[in-house]
Amino acid sequence: MKPGYSLMKHYLQFKDFRAEEYAYVFERARVIKQRFKNYEKYQPLVDRTLAMIFEKASTRTRVSFEAGMYQMGGSVVHLTTGDSQLGRAEPIEDSARVISRMVDIVMIRTFEQTKIECFAAHSRVPVINGLTNEFHPCQILADLFTYLEHRAPVNARGFEMDSLKGKVVAWVGDGNNMANTWLQAAEILGFTVHVSTPGGYEVDPAVAGIRDTGCYKVFADPREACRGAHLVTTDVWTSMGYEAENEARLKAFADWCVDADMMALAQPDALFMHCLPAHRGEEVAAEVIDGPQSVVWDEAENRMHVQKALMEYLLLGRIG
Ligand code: CP
Ligand code: NVA
C-alpha cells in the first residue's frame, strides 16, 4: 500500500468534502497556480498515474486533468467507451478492480451517478467525478475558486471564506448537474442560490442530495432570480445525454437567455460564469459572455489549478 491510501477519499459529489477541506484545497490551488504562473516546477506526483475515463465528450476536463497531472510530475492514461472494454459491457466492478490495481487515481466522466459510485466502491484508489448526469463537482470547485480570486481578500490561511457567506448566486436555466452541484455548495459554504428554470426542468432536492432546502429559492421569472445577485450563471439548455430532447428544450428555454437586461438587475459588480461550452444566442447573449462582467476564461483555466490541488489532496493528504 502506498502512503496516503489508508486515508483514501473519493470526490464523487460536492458534499464529499467539508467546508474546512474546501478552505484547504482553495489555498493549495492558489499556491499551485502562483507557482505555475512563475514557471516554478512543482512535481509532488512523480511516478503517480491518473486514469481518465470518458464516456462523454470533453475539452476542458480532459486538457485540465491531463496537463495538470503532467505538470505535477505524473502521467496519464486516457480511456473512452469506444476504445476500451467499457463499451463492450465489461462490468463496472471488474473494470474498477483492474484499473485501480494499475494506477493511483481515476477520473471518470459518465452518465448515471450510480455508475461512478459503483466504480468507487470497487476501486483501490481515489475516484474523481469529472461529470455525471447528476453532478459536476470539479466545475463548481473551479467556479468558487474563481469567485474567491475576484472577490475575496487573502488572509494568513488563504482566501477569506466568509466572503461567500450570505452571497446570492443566480442560476438561470436547466435544473441539471451544474444546478444540483451549486445547491450542494450553497448548503456547505453558506450562500443562497436563486434558481429559475422553465416548468418541467426544475431542480429536485432529492436528486441534488441536499438536506436543507433553505439554501435555494425558486423564481418563475429568471429576471427576479438575477435581482441583487453577486454571481449570475447558466449552462447549456441541452446537456450531454439529453440530445433527443433538444427541440422541445429550445422552445421551453427561450426566455432563459442571460442577457444584458438580466445582468443589469444583478449587483453592479456581479460576475458572470458559464462552465462552457456555451451557445451564444441561446442560454447567454454574446454581449454578456464576451462582456466586462464575464470571467469565463479564468473559470476555465482554474479547472486545472483546482484539480491539481484536488489530486494532491486525495493522493498526499495535507501538505505540511
Ligand atoms: N466545463 C466542462 O466540463 O467542459 P468540457 O465538457 O469541455 O470538459
Ligand atoms: N450540463 C452540461 C455541462 C457540460 C460541461 C452537460 O452535462 O453536458
Report the amino acid identity of residue 253: F
Q: Residue 246: nearest ligand to its CA?
A: 2
Which grid cell is 228?
Answer: 441583487
Q: Could you tell me if the CB of 236 is within 6 A of ligand 2? A: yes
Q: Is the pLDDT of residue 77 over 90?
A: yes
**pLDDT category of residue 4 using cuts at 50, 70 and 90:** very low
Residue 235 in contact with ligand 2 by CB distance below 6 A = yes
What's the whole-number mean pLDDT along residues 271-278?
98
**Which ligand gives the minimal distance to the CA of 304?**
1
Helix locations, the chain, DSSP H: 19-37, 60-71, 92-102, 113-121, 137-151, 177-189, 205-208, 222-226, 246-252, 260-265, 286-289, 296-316
For residue 95, pLDDT beyond 60: yes
145-to-7, 91, 169, 172, 174 alpha-carbon distances in Å:
25, 36, 14, 20, 23
Ligand 2 in contact with 239 (CB < 6 A)? Answer: yes
Determine whether 78 is exposed, middle or buried from the number of CB atoms within 10 Å of its CB (0-12, 13-18, 19+): middle
Catalytic residues: 109, 136, 139, 235, 275, 303
- For β-strands 168-172 and 192-196, DSSP reports them as parallel
Looking at every residue in the chain, the average pLDDT score rounds to: 96
- pLDDT (0 to 100) of residue 5: 47
pLDDT at 1 over 60: no
Return the pLDDT at 64: 99
The predicted pLDDT at position 28 comes to 98
Q: Spell out the domain ranges in the chain.
A: 14-136+301-316, 139-299
The residue ranking higher by pLDDT, 2 or 302, is: 302
Task: Compute the distance between CA of residue 26 and CA of residue 45 in angstroms, rounded to an integer.
Answer: 19
- Tell me: pLDDT of 23 over 50: yes
Q: Class assignment of domain 14-136+301-316?
A: alpha beta
Question: Considering just the CA atoms, what is the radius of gyration of the chain in Å?
Answer: 19
What is the CATH topology of the domain spanning 139-299?
A: Rossmann fold (3.40.50)
Summarised one tens digit per residue, pLDDT across range 202-226 is 999 999 999 988 999 999 999 999 9
User: What order do you get walking across the sheet with 271-274 strand by strand?
Assistant: 216-218, 192-196, 168-172, 231-234, 271-274
* 270 Cβ contact list (under 8 Å, min separation 6): 229, 230, 231, 232, 263, 293
Q: Which of 303, 306, 307 to mutate to test the pocket of ligand 1 (most atoms within 8 A of CB)?
A: 303
pLDDT of residue 295: 99
Model confidence pLDDT, tens digit, residues 220-271: 999 999 999 999 999 999 999 999 999 999 999 999 999 999 999 999 999 9
- Band (pLDDT 50/70/90 cuts) for residue 6 is low
Report d(CA 283, CA 281) in Å as an integer: 6
For residues 164-181, average pLDDT = 98
Compute the distance between CA of residue 288 and CA of residue 299 in angstroms, rounded to an integer.
15
Q: Is the model's pLDDT at 320 over the cut of 80?
A: no
Lowest-pLDDT choice from 36-40, 208-212, 218-222, 293-297: 208-212
From the CA of 305, how far away is ligand 1's center (Å)?
15
Domains 14-136+301-316 and 139-299 share a fold: yes
Select from 1, 2, 3, 9 the least CA-distant residue to 311. 9
Average of pLDDT values for 289-307?
Answer: 99
| Confidence (pTM) | 0.97
